[in-house]
Amino acid sequence: MKIALVNQYVVPPGAGGGSRHLDLAREWAAAGDSVEILSGSFNHFAQEAPHGHRDTLSVHDGVRIHPLWTPGYRGNGLRRILDMVWFGARAALCRKSLSGVDIVIGSSPHPLAACAAAILARRLRVPFIYEVRDLWPETLIDLGSLDREGVAARSLFAIEAKLVRTAAVTVGVPPLMRSYLDSRNLHPRQYVHIPNGAVLSDEVSNERSHRVSRMIDDLGSKGRTVFVYAGSLGRANGVKAVVVAATRLESRGADLVVLGDGPERRSLEELVAKLGSTNVHFTGQLPKPVALACMSASTASIFHLLDAPVFKYGLSPNKLIDYLAAGRPLIYAGPQVENPGTRSGACVIARPGDSASIAEAMRSIISMPVEVRDALGTKARDHATREHSISTLAVRYRDVLNRSA
């Protein structure tokens, strides 16, 4: 089977960012499928366009990635919207590059990428699969970025409805997305839930020689308790509360290592400097294997996400699965909804946006006997292995594609 996948935010190995589709595609290629991915040249996670990543086909473990050039942007303003439109228009014209495909997957966010995939599927006369990872525009409305009754929101809702009606299969990543579709009176032809997963092979996290991994090992050898936050530094992530909590525990021997980048990074660094703290370390975006090694080397990880009504449909972010796969205790400071972290039983719970609550959870980890930490870490890893192995999920997804092609 020849599979085409359209997602602007796929990045090649060695670049920081989400890896769901590249991980799945590698599994499909290993099973004998041919996989073509249309992505954008601009790395949203690192906010940069890597050198040599402009309309240059690259092949990774049998997966062919076509990075379509887009103008790029900073933050989440008008330039990002223009970048999305540009990518959608370019992707919709890539029929020649995808000749011979048997099925086309279009993934959100954003909806214009999925629209391009639907157009390609129609022109190629093959089935279209609509995969929903984030609920747009619902998330943007809840975060205050869009007016529910405005033209933009109504247009995005119309696109969403059209994509669900058009798709042979709608694949939902959020655990309770079917409830969302029901609330919108949307009835997909077929619906399946395939959550995010983690690559669980030992070699993926074997990057302990990297400078950040060495820094974490060095802090640990000095008796410090090292917490890792990995992911975006944007408004919805609310990482300020985590940073403030960590600064309060400098004298308790705690360090916070922040793996990632985003529009809030500069203000967070300025805050740490203003507070005069030396126990918060910003590393910038790291390759996924290095980030996994850093999680494994830490004492515990911290998941933080500000609450919003849209999250009532559950959470299944990649980084939460990666935290569990690292085999370390997890502080979960996020919406109290269906999610892999709390389901694992390996979490210490804190209130999102509440630095005092997060600091208390960190103190709990600091004072926890090593054997208790290890038991929580084992429970986390076991849950990731049982419920979120990318190998198992790829087989489930491939079965769906085979039945639809």
Domain coordinates in residue numbering, the chain: 2-197+389-404, 202-387
How do residues 14-58 score in pLDDT, each as one tens digit?
666 678 999 999 999 999 999 999 999 887 766 676 544 456 678
Helix and strand numbers (H, E) in the chain are 15, 14
**DSSP-derived 3-state class of residue 368:** coil
Whether 2-197+389-404 shares its CATH topology with 202-387 is answered yes
Lowest mean per-residue pLDDT among 182-196, 241-255, 268-282, 286-300:
286-300
Residue 54 CA: distances (Å) to CA of 65, 113, 364? 11, 18, 48
- What is the pLDDT, as a whole number, of residue 50? 57
- Going across the sheet that includes 347-349, the strands are 280-284, 254-259, 225-230, 300-304, 330-333, 347-349
- Which of these, 335, 318, 350, lies nearest to 245 by C-alpha position? 350
Q: Provide mean pLDDT across the span 170-189.
A: 95
Percentage of the chain modeled with pLDDT above 70: 94
How do residues 255-280 score in pLDDT, each as one tens digit?
999 999 888 999 999 999 999 999 99
pTM: 0.89
Class in CATH terms, 2-197+389-404: alpha beta
Give the DSSP H or E segment for 395: helix 390-404
Q: Which fold has domain 202-387?
A: Rossmann fold (3.40.50)
Lowest mean per-residue pLDDT among 56-65, 88-97, 382-391:
56-65
Q: Provide mean pLDDT across the span 308-326.
A: 92
Asked whether the predicted pLDDT for residue 208 surpasses 80, the reply is: no
Question: How many CA atoms does the CB half-sphere of 45 hold within 13 Å?
Answer: 22
Percentage of the chain modeled with pLDDT above 90: 75
- What is the pLDDT, as a whole number, of residue 199? 87
- What is the pLDDT, as a whole number, of residue 52? 47
Q: List Cβ neighbours of 319 (8 Å cut-off, separation of 6 or more).
A: 230, 231, 303
